[in-house]
Amino acid sequence: MPTLPPVTVEVVNGDVMLEPSSNSTKYNYRADKGPDVWHTLAPEWDICMSGTEQSPIDIVTSDVVSGVNTPIMMDYAPAPVSAVNKGSTLLLNFPATNTMAIGDRNFTLIQCHLHTTSEHTVNGASFPIEIHFVHADANSNLAVLGVMVQEGAASPVFPDIDRLNQIFPDQNGVVHETEELIQFEGLFPQDRSYYHYFGSLTTPPCAENVMWHVFREPITMSKEQLSVLLMKLNNLADASELGMSNRPVMPLGERTVYLGQNPEGLRTGNTEPPAAGSPAPEKTAGNLVFNLPKEGPTFNYTDLDWADITPEWDICASGQEQSPINIVHSNSVAGQAPQLTFSYTPTPLNIENNGKSLTLKGFDGNTMEIDGTTYDLVNIHMHHNSEHLFNGGAFPLEIHFVHADADGNLAVIGVMVEEGAANTAIPGDLKTFAQVFPGTKYVDYEFPTISVDMTQWLPADKTFYHYMGSLTTPPCSENVKWHVMQNPITMSRDQMSILLSAFKALDTASEFGAITMSKDQMSILLNAFKSLDTASEFGFTHRPAQPINERVVTIGYPPKDAQDGLPTVSTRVSFPFEYFGSPVGLQQQFSNEFIKQVAMVAGVSESAVRIVNLEKGSTIVTAQVTPAFEDIDSVKAKLEDPEAMFSADNGWDTSTFGTASAASTSNDGGSNDNDDDKLSSDQLALVIILCVLIPVLLIANLIACCCLMKNKEEKSSPSKPTMEDAMKAREMHRAGSEKKDAVMEA
């Protein structure tokens, strides 16, 4: 039993090590390299089939023979964590100071490892987990203690579920080492009676002469503890199709199982120490940090009513500029592209699984500059699926580059990821790519010898959509400058599968260009997202698109208004280039090149040039230049000669955009404050509307009056008699005359 009360430390520092691909196991528990074919995978493994004392076995209690009651004497002390994901099992290494004695034989504890379901069965029944404590004497004769685990009371060895989850790595070939002590003697039952028989290793090379001691009484773990361990065992790289890592029971043959020790005593197979083997392959070392959840409000992606969690997050519901949004390209407005200058250098890889996302950090010295303002790169994190939508469609993954200027103002670069060629931002093979992403929440890896090249996560064509938005997670703060790249990057399918637990390739962005990652790379960004505690039941970590409201999305930045008090010079230039029938990327290229060309020829900065209007025919560009007062005349003179300004001699791409053919116009260098005597475009439009509408309204009014008067006359004047009325009157008159004559005759 534990000699000290279990203690959970909030923050634990240690080491993480990555085993190379050459150290991978050559067998698994699946059909291709599973137990049925182990004997065929290597000549020295033939005993896996031909051996007569193979393990595990089914222990039939009615056939068990009473043996010698020899107690197992353990001299164990709490040990620091050294946990390994071997691909085929989860393993804990122990220092050589822990020993065990059976009678007069002494053994040193080497390691313990786990199998699911249990390898040994009792009367045909299995247990959820079996733990094997492997010991060796001075001559490497092996004695193994087997402990069954069933659901029940929580084990005191792992008092905190989050820490239990952190101890065992999620990826094949990853080692976690910390100084936090495990009081592992609590993993043995109080009743130390055991079944004993001679058997073998239960994995290749299946060597025999192993002294097995399977405790009769199982230990218990809580449902939560079992769930953590079973999830990790089920996800082992070499587990079976059903997530199992156990060898089926083997024939008992002529062997006898004893309750207690075999009366003949323990075997001595090796009489001297074995020769030293080849040194283990060198591992890649890094720094490891375990954290525990911090106090305070938390959120997830299942219940998205974040404003109901705490009043501080009310803006998540009430804000008018929330992110992400659905970007509809046809509703986007052409802007001007400021120079985005990325000063990124390869940086030691530091990745944190914070329970909400996979976040890369530690980017001191990496910056981005926009129009003379420098933004420091704070972190890079990922969402699945993409948070921003393009014309209603989502990408499998979205990467956010979060920057802040000296005043704390945020500028975020959003990059979509789709399946394609392998990405090279993180060096190394596919196994290394999988290993560097911690799949457990509140775990932090830092590798001084592995550098990430962030430029490989940026597309070559950096045309972007811009709008003002917010953080996409609580507290949902607004006033964030968003720059969503039009063009995605790519990862291979295996890379994506490492990051995504439920990857589905989407074809929503086939019209956009891409940089690439390989099929193998996209399959790896694997179970990392599904393990996030805030993920939805489908493993998604994205906020749905928010209403755009009155905001405008521009391609590039919105055109800048001329500064009050400064002179502006206008030019109107025509090109044969069909701007409105060209792809978006070529449209943006034309706008950018136009601004650069005018700025270069006029001798002003690009920020002093803005495109005011674009018209068809084929393309007519109206632009304004804001020079210094003393440069007005020279700038006007240069703008009045567009053929020279947009010539091949001046570096203009005439083969793509053609040469200019119209003369420029200017406002005579007048100040913006001195234009009161001129009609603005809005005023001119109003005059035209009034000139058209007033006559129309007058005519309509006259017609209405005429109709009204006519109706009035018809009501006031008697109606003219018809022919039918005249005939009736005539008949009445004749009838009256005849009646009068008859009276006279009478």
Please check whether the two domains, 12-270+281-288 and 312-555, share a CATH topology.
yes
Residue 166's φ and ψ, nearest 5 degrees, are -80, -30
Mean pLDDT per 10-residue interval, the chain, length 746 residues = 47 94 83 96 96 98 96 94 95 94 95 97 98 95 97 95 94 94 93 97 96 98 97 94 97 97 88 68 93 86 91 96 95 78 95 88 94 93 92 93 96 96 90 90 95 94 93 96 95 84 30 39 46 55 93 84 69 86 79 87 83 76 82 86 89 90 48 39 51 63 61 46 43 44 35
Residue where the block lists tokens 């959820």 = 128
Looking at residue 162, its amino acid is D
CA–CA distance from 138 to each of 197, 271, 279, 318 (Å)?
21, 9, 19, 71
Six-digit token string for 540? 């998604």
In terms of Cα–Cα distance, which of 515, 591, 606, 580 is closest to 554? 591
In terms of Cα–Cα distance, which of 328, 588, 307 is closest to 474? 307
- Domain ranges in the chain are 12-270+281-288, 312-555, 569-681
Six-digit token string for 25? 């196991």
CATH architecture of the domain with residue range 312-555: Roll (3.10)
Q: pTM surpassing 0.85?
A: no
pLDDT of residue 595: 86
pLDDT of residue 563: 56
Six-digit token string for 360? 């890369």
Looking at residue 158, its amino acid is F
**CATH number at 12-270+281-288:** 3.10.200.10
Instruction: Categorise residue 372: left if φ over 0, alpha if ψ from -120 to 50, beta otherwise.
Output: left
Q: Is 403 helix (H, G, I), strand (E, B) or coil?
A: strand
Q: How far apart are CA 222 and CA 159, in angstroms?
A: 10
pLDDT of residue 138: 92
